[in-house]
Amino acid sequence: MSNKINHSMSLATPDAQDISTKQKVALATGLIGLLILVLAFFNVDLPNRALFLALSLGLITIGTVIYSRDAYLTKLEGIKNDGVWFKSISSRGALGWALGIILTAFYVILYFYPQYLGLGKDGAANTGLISLFDPLSNLLSGRNASQWFVYGTLYTVAIIAFGYKFILKYRHNRYQQLRTISVMFFQLGFAYLIPEFMYVMNSDLPYYDLKSVWPLNYYIFDEWSVNGFLSNGNIGLALILFGIISIFVITPILTYKYGKRWYCSWVCGCGGLAETAGDSFRQLSSKKMSAWKLERWLIHTVLVFSVVMTTAMVYTYLGYDSNNFWLTRGVFIALVIGFLTLVFAAVLYFRGKELGKDAKMGAIGYFVVIALLLAMHFTGTTDNVFFVQGSALRSAYGIYIGSIFSGVIGTGFYPILGSRSWCRFGCPMAAILGFQQRLFSKFRITTNGGQCISCGNCSNSCEMGIDVRAYAQKGENIVRSSCVGCGVCSAVCPRGVLKLENDSMKGRINPTEVLLGNDVDLMELVNQK
Amino acid sequence: MEHIVIIGNGISGVTVARHIRKLSDKRITIVSAETEHFFSRTALMYIYMGHMKYEHTKPYEDYFWKKNRIELKKGYVKTVETTSKTLHFEGGDTLQYDKLVIATGSKPNKFGWPGQDLEGVQGLYSKQDLDTLERNAPNNKICNRAVIVGGGLIGIELAEMLNSRNIPVTFLVRENSFWNGVLPEGESAMINRHIKNHHIDLRLGVNLKEIKADENGRAKSIVITETNEEIDCNVVGLTAGVSPNINFIKDSEIETNRGVLVNRHLETNIKDVYAIGDCAEQRDGGIGQRRPIEAVWYTGRMMGETLAQTICGNKLEYKPGHWFNSAKFLDIEYQTYGWVFAKPRENEAHFHWKHEDDTKCITVCYDTTNNKFLGINTFGIRMRHDVFDRWLTEERDVDYVMQHLPEANFDPEFYKHFEKDILSAYNNNLQTA
């Protein structure tokens, strides 16, 4: 039900009356930049590719910068959400749907039909859009562009240009600014430039974005990847060890101290795009209880899938004979089962009571994984696990999870499902970090006594679909596995009720019946249970 | 099964219903003529500003009520017959109750201004008021200018709302500084400047003389008493406070004054009839330094929490703890803990600190006879409710509070802290005083 009755029916300029002349010019500038990309896509022969590429990316960036400056710097510092639910693009209007369809189509072409982007097959020269990026790719790593280079470049430009916009939008909020600078840095450096330079130094090394941790980086333990690292001496060995340490040591420590936000809102590239280019869509995530239920099933299923898939992958290229290499199939399976059992037992021992009903679901999940692994070990032949080829399992994961879920749905559906639907429903890394955050972390969003007025700004702006208000209005701290710690709920709260912080584990979860400010006797009577 | 009927589905009525359900199996019905489901009244402004849609202001999903066996009846209660325990609705139907809770909230004040009932003249309290505003002032082409009469919390919210749609606003405030009946001078003056920085035409120390109509009976201009200046406008917002919305019980046996008179147990003069929230008036005057009628979100909630205990057999007095409140003036957040009055009362003194950027300040009130900390107003710096609640209970002195102010800070991480500046200003102040 919309409360606004003067909806513009115009497809071309809905709500254009809200846009200043300067913003229109900025919009046009950015669109010309995009037009160059479209022309290249349709194989228009652009004479000087380097010039046109620079022009295109430059215009897009400059357009975004001018637009943002006019939108935010002309006003006083503060929350800038006016009209978010009136604008067609950010309220699932015609523009939103149009953008969603264009983005989705782009992802489908990118993942499944790169030839339409102009990828030269079997050493043939690139054409179309990809060839436009050849000069930049040659500059950075001395090779022609691939569809992934094009994607990476556009992705990085988006995070930087819209990151700038986000920083201006929250120019009164240093938490928002610092974490945005952080994701811009990690995207530009770790995801984009460093892998290119690593290629220049040693072209045999597999692509490795150092900040991308398994299971988000699901291909790091693939045979070609591991062989690629191991055949490159100490540097390769160091890199793969770093990959293992990342997930087993660095991640748990940082998540214990700061919550999963250290990764999801400060480092991660998926999160980086969601927080910058996706910021206009954060309010579109569903806050319904039913969406939460779906989320819990979906994300943990993906996690189970990724654990089993990775184990199966590694398993298939290990041998039986310990004389060749100490890590045989038997030892590996035993290690995996041992580790999972250790985690499961520790959780039950330390947090069993707190988990209550969820402990049963966890137990079921655990036994399913163990059963699958054992079945794999005792039924598997050299090439087959579960009677299907290990590589088939891996490619199924790659297509359905790695491409369709994270890319096509995760990003293509920004204007429909909100900016973090991949992070929320699919990312197995988020599931692991969230599990730690919920059970073993100092992080929480503190609710400020009885000050909540249930207005709903916090829930509305939660990209992860957490009904923040449901906790705040009970005076209860928010301790949820899905919270990525973006801090926007705290920023938009008109009464100063929410604060992200790391504090002791004691009293972290504090359900109350009657809120602070009431009769002391009543509070004690009702809250002691 | 005992039938509890609650008139009004605002925060007070809904809180009492929820807590009765937690404590008992009684049959519960909530009656409202405003909306089908509970929404957060404080969020109405954000709907007009496009931050949220109406459905986002509902704190509970629609299935909640059925799941918790709380019946909802949409209807306007015309009269209450307490002898037969019957409610009569406008449509002619009736409803029997065993216990009745009146939680009908407030309505905007009108002080008999000529033209106050014209088309285009409205208050801002209910969902209907919001819908009216959407019709009256959808954009700055249909509404070239709006005039707001009354400088309180709703007035400044309405100004912010209209501002978000680029509708020019003239803001008439009777006092010579914004909300200075409540805010100390330094704070009030800072808010005056902040309002003007938002290009709102703030007129201090002026009264509304009349609202003039055009040939269609719509408001076309207002006249200021002091200057006789006539200001053309399409919308006039009347935000000169609110009063209890209790006309429908004026003819019943239930005793009323400005509000429904209740004792400390929130009972009216009629057995099994209670009143809570904005519409209730404490019979013996306000509790402590509180006003007899408290039209505040939090007090409505606390009365609901308390009354549920009484209705479910654990008879309790309404004994609110330390006073607290909050608001937001355009971009500046305000919180208050304990008592800080506009002017220090007898044996009270204020310490005031303001940041040079003119968007942050605090005022601390203390007792000059024993240095006891009495309360704090904070603007632009968030502070912790539980810390101040504890300090007030522990009756800390003001020196202790000023020295431990960092403990109470609730600003987001990485924000600049000002406690050192505040403390040194406080120490300097003591030396010169």
Superfamily of segment(s) B121-240? FAD/NAD(P)-binding domain (3.50.50.60)
Q: Which residues pair with B211 in a beta bridge?
A: B222
On whether any CB of chain A is under 8 Å from the CB of B356, the answer is no
Interface of A with B in 73-92 (CB under 8 A): 76-79, 81-87
Judge: domain B324-432, CATH 3.30.390.30. Answer: yes
CATH superfamily of B3-106+243-311: FAD/NAD(P)-binding domain (3.50.50.60)
d(CA B209, CA A443): 56
Q: Give Cα separations from A6 to A3, A9, B130 (angstroms).
A: 9, 9, 15
Task: Determine the 3-state secondary structure of A156 from DSSP.
Answer: helix
Q: Where are the alpha helices (DSSP H) in A266-413?
A: 269-276, 289-317, 329-355, 357-379, 390-396
Q: Does residue B416 sit at the A interface (CB-CB below 8 Å)?
A: yes
Residues in chain B with CB shorter than 8 Å from the CB of A289 are 61
Q: Which of A150, A177, A201 is the last residue of a domain?
A: A201
Low-confidence ranges of chain B (pLDDT < 70): 431-433
Between residues A122 and B282, which one has the greater pLDDT? Answer: B282
Residues 6 or more apart in contact with residue A48 via CB below 8 angstroms: none
pLDDT of residue A362: 80
A290: contact with B, CB 8 A cutoff: no
- pLDDT, position A9: 43
- CB contacts of B61 in chain A (<8 Å) are 288-289
Tens of pLDDT, residue by residue over A483-498, are 999 999 999 999 999 9
The answer to whether the CB atoms of A448 and B130 lie below 8 A apart is no
Q: Is residue A482 domain-resident?
A: yes
Residues of chain A above pLDDT 90, percent: 55
- Domain range for residue A516? 442-527
Distance (Å, whole) CA B106 – CA B241: 9
pLDDT of B432 reads 57
pLDDT in tens, A359-414: 777 888 888 888 888 877 776 654 555 556 667 777 788 888 878 888 888 888 99
ipTM greater than 0.90: yes
* Predicted local distance difference test score (pLDDT) of residue A14: 43
Residue B13 — φ and ψ, nearest 5°?
Answer: -60, -40
- Domain end, chosen from A154, A182, A201, is at A201
Please report whether residue A270 resides in a domain. no
A77 chain-B contacts, CB cut-off 8 A = 331, 359
What value does the mean pLDDT take over residues A114-126?
A: 87
pLDDT at residue A17, rounded to an integer: 52
Using CA atoms, how far residue A367 sits from A293, A363, A378, B403, in Å, is 21, 6, 16, 56
Q: Is the pLDDT of residue A150 over 80?
A: yes
**Phi and psi based region of residue A92 (left: phi greater than 0; alpha: psi -120 to 50; beta: remaining):** left
pLDDT in tens, A170-213: 999 999 999 999 999 999 999 999 989 888 887 777 778 888 88
Q: In sequence order, which residues have a C-beta less than 8 Å from that of residue A519 and are 6 or more positions away?
A: B302, B306, B316, B317, B318, B319, B320, B321
pLDDT at A409: 85
Pick from A140, A155, A435, A106: which is nearest to A274 by CA? A155
Interatomic CA distance for residues A498 and A413, integer angstroms = 29
Nearest chain A residue to B331 by CA distance is: A78
Query: What pLDDT, on the 0 to 100 scale, is given for residue A8?
Result: 45
Contact A86 B50 (CB under 8 A): yes
Cβ of B412 within 8 Å of Cβ of A451? The answer is no
Q: Which residues of A touch B410 (CB under 8 A)?
A: 446, 448, 496, 499
Asked if residue A177 belongs to a domain, the reply is yes
**What is the pLDDT, as a whole number, of residue A529?**
54
DSSP assignment letter at A6: -
**A450 has a chain B CB within 8 A of its CB:** yes
| Cβ-based neighbours of B408, under 8 Å, separated by 6 or more | B383, B384, B387, B388, B391
**Which two three-digit tokens encode residue A258?**
């700061």
Chain A residue closest to B61 (CA)? A288
CB contact under 8 A, B50 and A487: no
Nearest to B50 among A84, A451, A518 (CB): A84
Cβ-Cβ contacts under 8 Å, A453 against chain B: 40, 42-43, 297, 326
Is pLDDT at A3 greater than 50 in this prediction? no
Say if the Cβ atoms of B42 and A453 lie within 8 Å: yes
A81/B410 touch (CB, cutoff 8 Å), yes or no: no
β-sheet bridge partners, residue B379:
B334, B361
pLDDT recorded at residue B20:
97
Residue B182: which of B284, B103, B44, B296 has the closest Cα? B296
For A392, the 3-state DSSP assignment is helix
When pLDDT is cut at 50, 70 and 90, the band that residue A10 belongs to is very low
Q: How far apart (Å, rounded) are the C-alpha atoms in residues A456 and B52? A: 8
Domain boundary among A153, A174, A201: A201
pLDDT at residue A5, as a whole number: 44
Intervals of CATH 3.30.390.30 along chain B: 324-432
pLDDT in tens, A77-105: 999 999 999 999 999 999 999 999 999 99
From B136's Cα to the closest Cα of chain A, the distance in A is 11
